[in-house]
Structures are given as C-alpha cells and as structure tokens.
C-alpha cells in the first residue's frame, strides 16, 4: 500500500506543464520594466510552483528573452542553496542582473522566513492532539492513523521514531505550552496542534520544527502545515471544470448555512485566478417545491413557460414549445450536503438542464458507496481525497482525520527533500502532497464522476 511509504514520485513533463510555462512567461512579460512589488508576487508564486528540475531546464533555454532569463535564474539560484547561502547568492544575481525589474523583489526574498529544518532521521516524534474535550474524537482518529503508518513502516523494516504524546484538551495558550515542552526535552519534530484556535497562535518562529494540522496563524511561522481545508479541493474542482472546456458557471449553495460561507469566498477567489466566470449565483432552499421554483427562475425556465402560456392564449392553436434554460451558462457548480444534492440534480433535469454538466464539492459524498441511495447524483463530478474514493461497497466510511494521521505519520520523512526543492510529490491518502511555496503542503486530489450511483475516478483519457 503506497500511501504509507514516504516516497517522492518524480513529476514528468506534461501538456499541463507547458500551459503553466506559457502562463508564467505571460506574467513575466506583462510585469513591464518598472513593476510594483505587488505585481511581481504572482510571478514569484508561479515560479515557486515549478519543480526545481524544470526551473533548471527553463534557465538553459536559448529562446528566453531578457526578462524571462533573469527570473528563471533568480528562482533557480534561490532554490538551489541553503538558507544561510541565500543572501550571498541573491547578491551575486543582482550583480549580474542589475537592470532587471526583478530587483524590486529582492528585499522581500531577503526578509522571507526560512522554514525550520527537519532532520533526515527523526528519533523523537512529538504529537500534540486533543485527546479529551470537544475535539477528542478527531484527535484520537489522527493518532490512530499515525500509529498505523508507523506500524506499517516498522513491518517494512524502517526505523521508526518514539512517540511523545501530549493532550491539548486543556491547553489555551500554545506559546507557553511549547516553551515548557522545550524545557522538558524538545522532540525532533512536533506534529500538531489540530484545534484551530491553537494553530492560529502559530504566529512566530519556533525553535522546534512543527507540522501543524490546521491553518497556521501568520507568515512568521517557520514550520509546515498539512490541513484538510476545502480550498485545495475546490481549486482542483475548478481546474477540472476548466480542463473540461467550461467557462461560465451557475453557482448553487444552500441558504442560511454558515459552513458554506468560507467555501463561497474561496470559490470567488479561485474563479478569478483560474479565469472562470460565475455567471449567476443562487442560495437555494432545500424544500422540493421552493427549490424547483428557485431553479426555474435562475435558469430562465419559468419565464420561458410563461411566454408559451401567453402565446397559447393569443393563438387559436398554439405551436408546441419546450421550455429552455438560459444559454449563457455551460456548467453548474454545486455546494450541497448529500440529501440536498439528491434533490438538486433531479430538479435540474426536470427543468431541461440535464445536459448541463454539474460539478460539486465533496460534501455531497458520504464516503460510503451506495448505488441505490446515490442514483440521483448521476453524472455529477467532484474531487476528494484518495482515502475516501478508495472505499468499496459494503465498507463503512473511514474518517478523514484517520487519513490525515496516516499522512502525518509518514510524510515527515519526505520533508527534508521537499524543503530542499526536490522535484516530485508524496503520494498520500489526503492527496498528492507537494511543498510548493511557504509552509503549506499542497494537496492535489483525484476527481470522480457518479456513474450508476457509484463514484468512478476520472482519468486523463476521460
């Protein structure tokens, strides 16, 4: 089972890589001769998303213009040296490229917070999880996943670290706890915390490498972050929509439910960056009658039917007409729980919108394959973590937090390579993990389509 092996799989050059490179060249050349620092941030972010091997290859191409060559060499030099050597290498670059517009970005690179160094061999692995209190169930699932990953490694003959387990159920001030932990004997790496109110306190540099399991609180945090936030799933979903050739979507989300608000904010941001147009938005109500009327309105079907009725009153024998949905949308983006999704798709079909492809957040999938109950989700595409998509009929759904523990209990062995800019990804159960920029591990997720009530993975040939 590959998900417990701390392996970095090499990335091959694909058509998608070519699109990224073309987009990067456009960003570089659009920045101009006298750019502002804010206009250079997207350029640097795109450069940091490239594997170091691809950066080296790009820096050797004779077809590069002056602006492109300077940026490629800057990103290459920044990634190829240790933290202590970076300032010296940046000065050398500036001596070669003293007229290049990227010099505006150099002060930001010199102020960047270096990531904490994880030793090649971790002998003491600290675990900081809620094992009592409100989040105890999630904490125990993460710990169980970590133990399973370490046990797998042990059976394969790997040396595994000793766990130092700490309960954060009663911890309110994380800095004080970490200071006390350091006095008692700091671990080689600390995994956690999980509770968001604690991870938000990670706002400064830590002397011990930390792999936080939720969103960290500030740019000064020098550790790493592996989280289950849905923005990465939505990024993959919007990418899939674009790959399928769609540009204008109708966004559907339940009304008066607080959990969808951050998802909608992420969708708005990601749509802009991915050049996807949200043509219209509907906050729907999940009762069949009200939902049908709302969808009929936003699709323009109600107006179409009203026109047909008016025509029938004017003519002695009205021609046969079929109500049609609006033509300025080519896909639907749906945020819904399972019960809501099982209502929305059939009503879309009823309103003659069955040809519109529907893409949805993973919330519509319970994690358990049930072809009978999910028959009304036919054709819907969603993206989810490999752990959940690997489930088979008859198996109960397993916790996403268990999968998080599996990855946390094995990806630490790949962190030194990731920090050094090694090309590739870690094949995890929460996704394919890459350290592309900053301190967050990016999760690339597979997508699936419901076929006869069961999610089936979408391959590149689909």
Nearest one of 412, 414, 424, 438 to 115, comparing CA atoms: 438
Q: In this predicted structure, what is the pLDDT of residue 395?
A: 47
In a domain, 394, yes or no: no
Q: In this predicted structure, what is the pLDDT of residue 86?
A: 76
**CA–CA gap between residue 445 and residue 403 (Å, rounded):** 13
Q: Yes or no: say if 424 and 356 are a contact pair by the CB < 8 Å rule.
A: no
Q: In this predicted structure, what is the pLDDT of residue 13?
A: 45
Query: Of 86, 110, 134, which marks where a domain is finished?
Result: 110
238/183 same-domain check: no
Residue 20 to residues 14, 80, 124, 277, 420: CA-CA distances in angstroms? Answer: 10, 21, 40, 20, 22
Query: Of 110, 135, 156, which marks where a domain is finished?
Result: 110
Domain holding 83: CATH number? 1.25.40
Q: How many domains does the chain have?
A: 3
Q: How far apart are the first and last CA of the chain?
A: 26
Nearest one of 173, 206, 176 to 191, comparing CA atoms: 206
Query: Of 41, 76, 110, which marks where a domain is finished?
Result: 110
In a domain, 458, yes or no: no
Domain holding 377: CATH number? 3.40.50.2300
Nearest one of 387, 380, 386 to 361, comparing CA atoms: 380
Q: Give mean pLDDT in consecutive 10-residue pieces for the chain, a chain of 462 residues.
A: 45 57 88 79 80 84 93 87 75 92 84 74 94 93 96 93 92 85 82 93 85 86 92 94 95 94 94 91 93 91 54 52 74 96 94 92 92 95 94 62 96 86 83 84 95 90 50
Q: In this predicted structure, what is the pLDDT of residue 212?
A: 96
55/12 same-domain check: yes
22/79 same-domain check: yes
In a domain, 389, yes or no: no
235/350 same-domain check: yes
Nearest one of 360, 426, 429, 364 to 390, comparing CA atoms: 429
Domain enclosing residue 213, as ranges: 124-228+401-414+429-443
**CA–CA gap between residue 453 and residue 150 (Å, rounded):** 36
In a domain, 396, yes or no: no
**CA–CA gap between residue 296 and residue 305 (Å, rounded):** 10
In a domain, 391, yes or no: no
In a domain, 459, yes or no: no
95/59 same-domain check: yes
407/302 same-domain check: no
Q: Yes or no: say if 209 and 190 are a contact pair by the CB < 8 Å rule.
A: yes
In a domain, 308, yes or no: yes
299/354 same-domain check: yes
Q: In this predicted structure, what is the pLDDT of residue 285?
A: 94
Q: In this predicted structure, what is the pLDDT of residue 447?
A: 96
**CA–CA gap between residue 233 and residue 217 (Å, rounded):** 21
**CA–CA gap between residue 366 and residue 372 (Å, rounded):** 13
185/260 same-domain check: no
Q: Yes or no: say if 160 and 154 are a contact pair by the CB < 8 Å rule.
A: yes
pTM surpassing 0.85?
A: no
175/305 same-domain check: no
267/350 same-domain check: yes
263/351 same-domain check: yes
176/243 same-domain check: no
In a domain, 461, yes or no: no
């Amino acid at each position: 089972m590959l998900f417990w092996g701390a392996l970095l799989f090499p990335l091959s050059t694909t058509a998608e890589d070519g699109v990224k490179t073309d987009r990067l060249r456009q960003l570089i050349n659009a920045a101009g001769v006298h750019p502002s620092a804010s206009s250079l941030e997207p350029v640097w972010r795109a450069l940091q998303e490239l594997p170091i091997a691809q950066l080296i290859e790009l820096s050797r191409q004779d077809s590069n213009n002056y602006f492109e060559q300077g940026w490629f060499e800057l990103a290459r030099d920044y990634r190829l040296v240790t933290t202590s050597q970076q300032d010296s290498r940046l000065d050398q670059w500036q001596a070669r490229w003293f007229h290049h517009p990227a010099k505006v970005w150099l002060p930001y690179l010199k102020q960047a917070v270096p990531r904490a160094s994880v030793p090649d061999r971790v002998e003491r692995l600290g675990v900081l999880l809620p094992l009592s209190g409100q989040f105890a169930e999630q904490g125990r699932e993460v710990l169980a996943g970590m133990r399973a990953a370490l046990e797998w490694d042990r059976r394969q003959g790997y040396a595994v670290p000793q766990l130092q387990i700490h309960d954060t159920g009663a911890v309110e001030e994380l800095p004080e706890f970490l200071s006390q932990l350091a006095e008692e004997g700091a671990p080689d790496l600390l995994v956690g915390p999980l509770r968001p109110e604690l991870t938000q306190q990670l706002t400064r540099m830590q002397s011990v490498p930390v792999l936080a399991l939720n969103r960290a609180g500030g740019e000064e945090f020098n550790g790493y972050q592996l989280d289950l936030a849905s923005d990465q799933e939505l990024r993959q979903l919007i990418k899939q929509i674009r790959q399928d050739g769609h540009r204008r979507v109708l966004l559907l989300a339940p009304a008066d439910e607080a959990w969808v608000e951050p998802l909608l904010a992420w969708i708005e941001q990601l749509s802009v960056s991915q050049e996807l147009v949200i043509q219209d938005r509907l906050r729907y109500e999940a009762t069949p009658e009200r939902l049908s009327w709302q969808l009929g309105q936003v699709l323009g079907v109600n107006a179409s039917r009203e026109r047909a009725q008016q025509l029938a009153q004017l003519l002695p024998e009205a021609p046969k007409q079929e109500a049609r949905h609006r033509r300025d949308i080519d896909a639907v983006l749906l945020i819904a729980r399972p019960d809501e999704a099982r209502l929305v798709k059939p009503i879309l079909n009823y309103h003659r919108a069955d040809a519109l492809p529907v893409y949805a957040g993973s919330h519509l999938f319970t994690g358990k394959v049930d072809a009978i109950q999910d028959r009304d989700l036919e054709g819907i595409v969603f993206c989810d973590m490999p752990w959940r998509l690997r489930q088979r009929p008859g198996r109960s759904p397993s916790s996403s937090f268990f999968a998080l523990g599996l990855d946390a209990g094995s990806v630490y062995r790949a962190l030194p390579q990731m920090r050094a800019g090694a090309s590739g990804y870690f094949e995890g159960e929460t996704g394919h993990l890459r350290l592309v920029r900053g301190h967050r591990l990016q999760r690339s997720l597979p997508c699936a389509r419901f076929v006869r009530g069961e999610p089936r993975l979408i391959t590149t040939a689909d």
